[in-house]
Every structure is written in C-alpha cells, then in structure tokens.
Amino acid sequence: MVTRRKIRVNKDQSPSVKTLRASLGLGRPVAVLAALLALGACDAVDKRAVGTVGYVKGFAGMVAADEPRAMVVGRDVLSAGGTAADAATAMYFTLAVTYPSAASLGGGGSCIVHDPVRKKTEVMEFPAIGSVSGGAVATAVPANPRGFFALHAKYGKLRFESLLVEPERLARTGVPVTRALANDLARAVPILGRDMAARAIFFRPDGSVLREGDVITQPHLASIIANLRRNTGDFYVGIGARELIKSVQSVGGTLTLEDLRDIRPTWRDALTLKLGNETAYFAPPPSVGSTVAAQLVGALWPRWSDTAPVERSHLLAELSARVFADRARWMRPSGWSNEEGSALISEAHLKALLADYNPERHVPAPGISGPPSDYPLATGFVAMDGQGSAVACGVTTYGLFGVGRVAPGTGIVLAGTPGPNGPPAITTMVTVNHNANEVHFVGAASGGGTAPAALALTFLGAAADDKPLGEAISAPRLVHPGAPDAVFVEGAPHALDPTSLQQRGHQISPVTMPSRVEALYCPGGYKNSESCEAATDPRGFGMATAVGLR
C-alpha cells in the first residue's frame, strides 16, 4: 500500500508544494513501479520538488530510532529535503503515537544539535517538571510539544504543520502495534488496567492488552496533534490548555495554566571534551545520563587504546563505580547539579576519579551510600542530513507509561516527575571534527543508569577500536553502580566473559541489560558518505538506515 501525504516547505525556500508519496515500509514494489512509470512519462526528467520523497539525489542523511515506524517517517523527511531537525521533529511526534510508553506528549527531554553553517553545537533542554500545585498524583507539565516546536523553529526547513501530518494520520486511522510497544504493554498491564481511559486505548474488547500486530487507534490524540499543527500555542495558553487542565485534574493529576504558560525550552551550551582532533558534546545536567557519559568518555579516552583488552572491563567497572559515587555528591534529586557542569569534566576532576585505580585489583569506591534510583524508561533517536547537520534526542515519561494514567479525552499518557521517579534518563552525545567542520558520531541511549556506559562503549568501540558501528553497539556491556559493590554484566545473547573481573576481586551479577543505543557514525565525514553507518541496538526493536546510500 502506498500512502499519500504532503510535506510543505517554507515559502522563501521553494516556490511550489507537491504531494508527497511516501512508502511506510509497505508495498515498496508498488512505489518503485510507480516511480519508474513516472520517469518514463516525463522522458526521464525528474521534476520532484522539495518536500517530495526522493527529492534529494545521493546521500540524504541517516536516522535511527528505538521504534521502527518513527525511523521510516524520519527517513522520508530526509529524502524529501528536510533537515536533521525536521526529521527529529517528525520522528518525535510519530513516537508520541507509536511509543507512548516513553515518548508521550506529557513528557520531556533534551536534544543536542550541530549546525555546520553556524559552526555551532548546542543543547536544547525541555525537561518535564512538576506542577506548582498539589494533587493526588504528581504529574509532570508536558514539555515535549513546545520543545520540538522550538527545535524546528530554529533549525527546521519544512513547514512544522506538514511534519505532523503523518503522526496525526497514524493516530486517527490506526497503526499496528510494534514489538517495541507490545513489550512495554505486556509489562504495564497492572498499571494501565486500573485506568479507564488507558484501557480504552491499550486493551482489546475482551479485556486483554493489545499485542504485536493489533491495530491501535487514538482519535483523541489525533485531535490533539491536529490542534498542535494548527496552533501549538493553544496547547499551552488557549482553550486547548484549559481543556487539558480539566482532563488532567479529573484523574487526580497536577496541572495549572501557570504551569503550561511558564514551561519553556532552554538553549544551553553543551558539555565539551577534546578527544584528539574531535570535540565531543554532551547535554549538561539535568540530563544526568549525558553528564555521566561525558565523565566516562573523558576519563577512558586517554587510557583506552593503551589498555590491554583483558583489563578494559576492570577499568570500566572501577571508573563506573567512582562516577556513580561522584554523581551522588553533585546531583540533586531533580537531576540538576550542585556545581558547574564544566567542573565535572575538567581534566583535573577526571584524573581524580581514577587516582586510586589499581589495574590488578578491585578497590571499592568511597562515599556512596545507596544504589542509583534511575528508572530505565526513555527513548532515543538520532538524525543527520545530507548537509552535515545532526540531532541527537532523548525523551522520557519518568516511568513505564508515566504514572499509568491517560488524561481523558486527550489520549495523552501523563508523565511522572523527576525526583521521586529518578533523574531524567537522557543520554546523548555528538562529536565534531572542527578542522573539517563535520560531524563524525551521533548517539542517543536509554536504559537509566546502564545507558551512559552503553553509549561510551559504543563510541569507544567505533572511534578508538575502529570496529564497524553495528559490532560496537552489539558488544557485551557492564556497569558498576557503586552500590551494591558488584559489577552487573550482560548475559546471553551478548554475554560478557566475567573471568578477568573475577580474577581482580569483583563480585559479578549477570543481568539482562535494559540499555538501548541508537547511533550514526561517519569517520570520513558526511562528504565521504560511503564511510557512514547507521545502527540500532539489537537488544531492542528499533531500526536504522542511511538514506540514498547504495
């Protein structure tokens, strides 16, 4: 089946708007045949305009996401001439429909953006915070819609409303439940089963939860997205805002007009590390996972290549324990830091983290009293366009389906708040070679406290060890949380051999790692596109692709 939709471009960038023909992974032979017939009719003259899938000839970029439908939508936006920010915006609103367990409109997140024209890399923070009011259930103020509107306003090219056409259609007409969502639904039955609005969306008529392949239809959410297309401001200050407040409060949630009016995305400087010829960028607190990843990468980079493979697991475990002990010192419950983010990744501080490192024996990390309180649920997605701009984003609902309630009449899963539900589980990273003004690595990871080490290992595997990106993502993982004093090592099918750790005195605990990494890697830069790779984590159910590469 071939679906039709329109992606409009700004008037100052294109004189025409044409119908977009986009395959959503279904009926590709039909789309190919139609394209061939069209070419024949036009005597091989391609008249496709900006906003039409296939407009970009050659390399159009890369995308990766934890959920496959979002990846397909992002792919088509890049093929139609959209920027990485356009793709990320369309991917997010698709995830709000197809993966609401982590990407609900009610949640928040952050994105790192690199713009090669401005030669600037910056972070946009839009964390979902708690309400100023009290209530039976502490729910977050929805930050995602305003966050991605702001991202698009600064870095987008295609019309914002056109990027929401496909998410609205998927919500209104229905979309098959993917394995990613089905997996979360199966775990959330006790939570969602208590809420009537949630049951109406996520359960079958016979009372059982939706399974993979079942069609999920969300007409109320479609109406919200349609309203966002027409007037995003109404969601925060208009009639739509007042209706949302009544709906949230009707199920015991906390939300006021003041909350909606005051929540605003913030553009901030990224945490930066110099790694040889590369500069690595990370989101600062309250994106706690990104900050921890920066400490891991910054401390490991000078040692990694010179450390014997048999010792590397020990090195990572010792550093991981110390980074979590350090996090307990600087992190507030909300994820914000008690000191400047730059101080946390200074050369002196990173050296101090490993000051007592013994390559032969485990030395317990000092000063940590309890295990991290991170909740693992979040989702990450990444995009790079054919002009070299890149975006890495993470969003979260602070819990599996947030607080387990849906605002009646809206279809919006209500997110929890940071603090009681752990710090923001956002882990993102971008590296840039400023000599060439080119992005080389773009990554986003989810999985709570396991995400920073997963992203760091993926980056080191690709950039330091020259592994193919897919191999780097698939490599066995470990994490030492500081407390308990044990190394959590990955079990089958990506099992890590614990022998070298046990020989050095570590206690071992095999686990199934919840971390998921989405990454893009262009070691030769986007102009040398044959070097580019896009990879999704085999532990999850996402997809990744390069657009326009043979």
Q: Per the structure block, which two tokens stand in for 185?
A: 């639904």
Averaged over 184-193, what is the pLDDT?
97
SS3 303: helix
- Give the model confidence (pLDDT) of 403-413 as tens digits: 999 999 999 99
Cα separation, 95 vs 78, in Å, equals 17
Phi and psi for 239 in degrees, rounded to 5?
-60, -40
Which pLDDT belongs to residue 407?
Answer: 98
Which pLDDT belongs to residue 17?
Answer: 28
Peptide bond into 286 cis (omega under 30): yes
The partner residues of 443 in beta bridges, in order of sequence, read 429, 519
68-100 burial string, b = 16+ CB within 10 Å, else e?
A: bbbbbbbbbbbbbbbbbbbbbbbbbbbbbbbbb
Torsion angle in degrees (nearest 10) through CA of 428, 431, 437, 438: -80
- Give the model confidence (pLDDT) of 311-360 as tens digits: 999 999 999 999 999 998 888 877 788 889 999 999 999 999 999 999 99
Which pLDDT belongs to residue 328?
Answer: 86
pLDDT confidence of 54, banded at 50, 70, 90? confident
SS3 308: coil
Higher pLDDT, 21 or 500: 500
Cα separation, 105 vs 438, in Å, equals 32
**Res 489 pLDDT > 50:** yes
Q: Which of 221, 213, 189, 190 is nearest to 202 (CA)?
A: 189
What CATH number was assigned to the domain covering residues 268-376+427-547? 3.60.20
Q: Per the structure block, which two tokens stand in for 122?
A: 């910056």
Q: Per the structure block, which two tokens stand in for 283?
A: 């989101």
Cα separation, 430 vs 521, in Å, equals 10
Q: Per the structure block, which two tokens stand in for 533?
A: 């790779």
Tell me how far CA of residue 215 lies from CA of 5, 95, 98, 284, 387, in angstroms.
Answer: 20, 15, 11, 39, 37
Q: What is the DSSP letter of 12?
A: T
pLDDT confidence of 275, banded at 50, 70, 90? very high
Q: Per the structure block, which two tokens stand in for 85?
A: 């920010």
**Res 372 pLDDT > 80:** no
Supply the pTM of this predicted model. 0.90
Q: What is the DSSP string of 32-85?
A: HHHHHHHHHHTTT-----TTSTT-S-S--EEEEESSHHHHHHHHHHHHTT--HH
Q: Which of 438, 456, 439 is nearest to 447 (CA)?
A: 456
CA atoms within 13 A on the CB side of 243: 14
Peptide bond into 452 cis (omega under 30): no
**Res 550 pLDDT > 60:** no
Hey, where are the domains in the chain? Answer: 1-55, 268-376+427-547
What is the rounded average pLDDT for all residues in the chain? 89
pLDDT confidence of 375, banded at 50, 70, 90? low
Which pLDDT belongs to residue 422?
Answer: 64
Which pLDDT belongs to residue 540?
Answer: 96
How does strand 175-176 pair with strand 215-216? antiparallel
For residues 488 and 481, the answer to whether their CB atoms sit within 8 Å is yes
Q: Which of 319, 378, 374 is nearest to 349 (CA)?
A: 319
For residues 309 and 352, the answer to whether their CB atoms sit within 8 Å is no
For residues 42 and 186, the answer to whether their CB atoms sit within 8 Å is no
Cα separation, 394 vs 427, in Å, equals 7
CA atoms within 13 A on the CB side of 451: 33
Cα separation, 456 vs 212, in Å, equals 32
Q: Per the structure block, which two tokens stand in for 116?
A: 């090669």
Which pLDDT belongs to residue 243?
Answer: 98
Compute CA 317 distance to the chain's CA centroid, rounded to the nearest angstrom.
25
Which pLDDT belongs to residue 41?
Answer: 34
Cα separation, 423 vs 394, in Å, equals 13
